[in-house]
Chain A
Amino acid sequence: MKNKLLLTAGLVAVVFASCTKGDSSVPAGENVKVPYVGLNANTNYFEIFKGADNKTSVDFSGQTIRINMLKEMDAYMKTGLTASVSAEKLVNMFENKNAAFNNAALNAATDKTIISKTAQSFPAVDAETERNRFKTYFTSLAAASQSRSQTAAAGQAGLLDGKYLVNEKGFEFGQFVQKGLMGAMMLDQISNIYFGGEKQNADNEAIVSGKNYTQLEHHWDEAYGYLTSNEMYPKKDPADASKWLESYLGSYVRQVSTSVGGENPQDIYVAFLKGRAAIVNKDMPMRDQQIAYLRANLEKAIAIIAVSYLNKTKTATTDGAKFHSLSEGYGFVYSLRYGYNAKINAAKSNELLSILDGKTNGFWSLTNADIDNVRDQIAAAFGIDKNVVVNH
């Protein structure tokens, strides 16, 4: 009887051992608090990490608040199709002042703003340049909304396909803002701020007063909170299996996979789990592996999406779809500068953007050769297929 039990236990142990990838820095069999082998795509992020009180030690409400602020901004920018948009109101939303949001909880979160988390890792002067860039987009969007009753054409702001508001150069500023902040806020916060030295050197011994987590644990969760607000990633809508519940950066990283030269979102998720477990386990080499993996692959995901949108620009079937794709792609090309040690840094990113926006009539004056020029440089920098198209 005893023998058989042992045999069974042995079998289980062998199976466990065979599925570790061999990248664990903790010797097999060591008694860690959160075993890495148990972490997988179905693990619940909230439930697996618990404090001494046996309640979840995960909290990233501040990130969710900022994402919700961006959602309201987005919704407001879209009203430009049928009404005049105020640049001042957009600035108020950006800076969370003058009760700009419909959701009172957002107005009440007075210590939370998008602007302070925009290009935060950049030197102050450069950060200001980037913040002003977004404010210029607000002004341009407001100006374009005055022409909403026109059909857009080269030299004429207005609507394309009745549903995209563009300026006289075909620029859809709502997309510049939305896609741009995925880099300037979300990617920058994850890869440069929260995975950066300052946040990662935080204390990992003491429990924060009144909480059930260490400061370091909390920082990791705040990084996760910029990818998703959910207890797992990616998450399907329980009410509609065809839908997913991420927004912004998380929703685009989800669309990337190994079949397009990136990583599967489930593996991105497991890396977040492993990194958090490593912090609980005080296993810094393991944490650092996850940081390196996530930094590289979140940046690469944005590159793949940028290339995909540039390719979609070439195949779009209407002017509206074409410039919409291009405006999205433009936002992602901009966002590339926020990778950690970015392969396409700010100077290079600006150079690529000027190829796209620098002609007399803006997008209307572009050729396939211009698109290919930008696309091929990004593809080469990341070693990805220049023809890649992601099914959005």
Chain B
Amino acid sequence: MKKTLLLGIAGILMAAITITACKKEDNNNNGNPSGGLDRQPMLTNYADNYILPAYTAMVEDLAALKTGSDAFVAAPDESKLIALRTAWQKAYITWQKVDLLEFGPAENVSLRMYINTYPVTVSKLNSNISSGSYDLEQFGNKDAQGFPAIDYLLNGLAANNADVVNYYTADAQAGARKQYLQAVVNKMLDKVTTVRNEWNSYRNTFVGATGTDVNSGISRMVNSYVLYYERYFRSGKIGLPVGAMTGTAKPDITEAYYTPQLANTLANTAMQSVIAFYEGRSFIGAQGSASMKSYLSTIGTKGDNGELMADLVTKELNEVSTALAAINTPLKDAVQNNRTAVLNTYEQIQQVVPLLKVDMVSAFGISITYVDNDGD
């Protein structure tokens, strides 16, 4: 009897092994440690309360920029130059709230590349103006357009307003320069309008992709967010200009180089956007509902000291924000003259990277998909 039982058990075991062996391997789908947590409200909140309003605001600001540049080009003078600069600054600040959304329709048109590749390559821009033959769609022209090109065209040509206006009136290239300014502005408006329109239909795709695979809404959004934080915020705005890896400051690669004080405003706005987005706030800053933070909090991941990871991220992001805001000389000067403060800020920015890229991403059951250089 005992023997029979044993044999029976062996048989069942064998059967179980067989079942296991024939189960289709599913190695490529990440396990979903957060099963049972509904991701749809979070995706809905991001789409409807942040992303769609953000693109609408961006289109509005660029339309205003176009109005300003059309007016300036029609009859260039100092007051129209000042008005145009104001419109440009407002749009550039809004861009800091949009830049972290480079996925889906934005990614599909390489939006960031056309809007904000800096530093601008002045020689290329000038050669485009003098030749009059250029295609701003071409990859080779990415550093001769966008906000940085306008920065140069409005702020980099001369030290005082009258001399700048002169480049659009008396200068031999005045006509070509006016055309170029308009072409750059039109291209930006065109690109963002395309993305805004595509989001109208992509919205449902995004909100409906509730899984955790590489094409899910959460994977795309979080990858875009973490990539932005790491590469465009940390390295682009701070790390590369201060030379965190090289020990040598490169002030000429700061954002808004020809409008020094604006670089700080842009960086601070970007940081506020990083925090607001994490917390699921609306585009205008209203308290959020379902967010990366609340989702992480529900999962309950804890840091080494037992603190909720969701809260730890907020705490550390706020510390970055404080440190960054305390840098009160223009970034292009601070990276040279106030290196300790900038490097310390960089260090604080860097400390959040693993929290987002490792802890949060693995808690969400997704993976980082944006390795550019695959080492072959």
Report if A and B associate in a common complex.
yes
Chain A interfacial positions (CB closer than 8 Å to B):
1, 4-5, 7-9, 11-12, 15-16, 19, 37-38, 40-42, 154, 163, 178, 257-260, 264, 266-267, 312, 314-319, 321-322, 324-325, 361, 363-369, 385, 387-389, 391-392
B8 close to chain A: CB less than 8 A:
yes
Beta-carbon contact of B138 and A364 below 8 Å: yes
Q: Please, could you name 28 A-B residue pairs with CB atoms under 8 Å apart, sorted by A? A: A5-B4, A8-B8, A11-B15, A12-B11, A12-B18, A15-B19, A163-B373, A257-B28, A258-B28, A259-B213, A264-B24, A264-B27, A314-B109, A315-B107, A317-B231, A324-B373, A361-B140, A363-B139, A365-B135, A365-B139, A365-B140, A366-B138, A367-B139, A368-B137, A385-B215, A387-B108, A389-B369, A391-B214
CB contacts (< 8 Å) of A385 on chain B: these are: 215
Contact with A along B15-41 (1 / 0, CB 8 A): 100110110111111000000000000
Beta-carbon contact of B371 and A367 below 8 Å: no
Beta-carbon contact of B109 and A259 below 8 Å: no
| Centre residue among B15, B21, B26, B28 by max chain A CB count within 10 A | B28
B297 close to chain A: CB less than 8 A:
no
B102 close to chain A: CB less than 8 A:
yes
- The distance in angstroms between the C-alpha atoms of A392 and B18, with both chains bound, is 33
CB contacts (< 8 Å) of A42 on chain B: these are: 21
* Nearest-neighbor residue (CB-CB) of A326 within chain B: B139
Beta-carbon contact of B27 and A365 below 8 Å: no
CB contacts (< 8 Å) of A257 on chain B: these are: 28-29
CB contacts (< 8 Å) of B21 on chain A: these are: 38, 40, 42
Beta-carbon contact of B15 and A4 below 8 Å: no
Beta-carbon contact of A154 and B140 below 8 Å: yes
Contact with A along B143-176 (1 / 0, CB 8 A): 0000000000000000000000000000000000
Contact with A along B202-218 (1 / 0, CB 8 A): 00000000000111000
Q: How far is the CB of B64 from chain A (nearest CB, A)?
A: 26
CB contacts (< 8 Å) of A316 on chain B: these are: 372
Chain B interfacial positions (CB closer than 8 Å to A):
3-4, 7-8, 10-12, 14-15, 18-19, 21-22, 24-29, 102, 107-110, 135, 137-140, 213-215, 231, 367, 369-374, 376
* Nearest-neighbor residue (CB-CB) of B224 within chain A: A315
Beta-carbon contact of B15 and A364 below 8 Å: no
- The distance in angstroms between the C-alpha atoms of A13 and B251, with both chains bound, is 74
Beta-carbon contact of A321 and B373 below 8 Å: yes
Beta-carbon contact of A15 and B7 below 8 Å: no
Given pairs A259-B214, A266-B25, 5 additional interface contacts (CB within 8 A): A259-B29, A260-B215, A363-B139, A385-B215, A392-B374
- The distance in angstroms between the C-alpha atoms of A366 and B213, with both chains bound, is 31
Beta-carbon contact of A259 and B108 below 8 Å: no
CB contacts (< 8 Å) of B25 on chain A: these are: 40-41, 264, 266-267
CB contacts (< 8 Å) of A259 on chain B: these are: 28-29, 213-215
CB contacts (< 8 Å) of B3 on chain A: these are: 1
Beta-carbon contact of A8 and B11 below 8 Å: yes
Beta-carbon contact of A4 and B138 below 8 Å: no
CB contacts (< 8 Å) of B374 on chain A: these are: 392
* Nearest-neighbor residue (CB-CB) of B235 within chain A: A317
Beta-carbon contact of B7 and A4 below 8 Å: yes
Beta-carbon contact of B107 and A314 below 8 Å: yes
Q: How far is the CB of A249 from chain B (nearest CB, A)?
A: 13
- The distance in angstroms between the C-alpha atoms of A128 and B373, with both chains bound, is 33
A367 with B137, Cβ < 8 A, contacts A42-B21, A315-B102 known = yes
- The distance in angstroms between the C-alpha atoms of A314 and B105, with both chains bound, is 12
CB contacts (< 8 Å) of A258 on chain B: these are: 28
- The distance in angstroms between the C-alpha atoms of A163 and B140, with both chains bound, is 19
- The distance in angstroms between the C-alpha atoms of A19 and B371, with both chains bound, is 38
* Nearest-neighbor residue (CB-CB) of A322 within chain B: B139
- The distance in angstroms between the C-alpha atoms of A387 and B214, with both chains bound, is 11
- The distance in angstroms between the C-alpha atoms of A319 and B373, with both chains bound, is 12
* Nearest-neighbor residue (CB-CB) of A362 within chain B: B140
- The distance in angstroms between the C-alpha atoms of A363 and B367, with both chains bound, is 30
- The distance in angstroms between the C-alpha atoms of A119 and B346, with both chains bound, is 52
| Centre residue among B12, B110, B135 by max chain A CB count within 10 A | B110
- The distance in angstroms between the C-alpha atoms of A260 and B369, with both chains bound, is 13
| Centre residue among B25, B135, B367, B371 by max chain A CB count within 10 A | B25
| Centre residue among A312, A321, A391 by max chain B CB count within 10 A | A391
Q: How far is the CB of A250 from chain B (nearest CB, A)?
A: 13
Q: How far is the CB of B195 from chain A (nearest CB, A)?
A: 12
Beta-carbon contact of A40 and B372 below 8 Å: no
Beta-carbon contact of B369 and A364 below 8 Å: no
A260 with B4, Cβ < 8 A, contacts A315-B110, A322-B139 known = no
CB contacts (< 8 Å) of A15 on chain B: these are: 15, 18-19
Beta-carbon contact of A391 and B102 below 8 Å: no
A19 with B18, Cβ < 8 A, contacts A11-B11, A361-B140 known = yes
CB contacts (< 8 Å) of B22 on chain A: these are: 19, 37, 40
Q: How far is the CB of A256 from chain B (nearest CB, A)?
A: 9
Q: How far is the CB of A21 from chain B (nearest CB, A)?
A: 9
CB contacts (< 8 Å) of B107 on chain A: these are: 314-315
- The distance in angstroms between the C-alpha atoms of A266 and B21, with both chains bound, is 12
- The distance in angstroms between the C-alpha atoms of A365 and B136, with both chains bound, is 10
Beta-carbon contact of B27 and A266 below 8 Å: yes
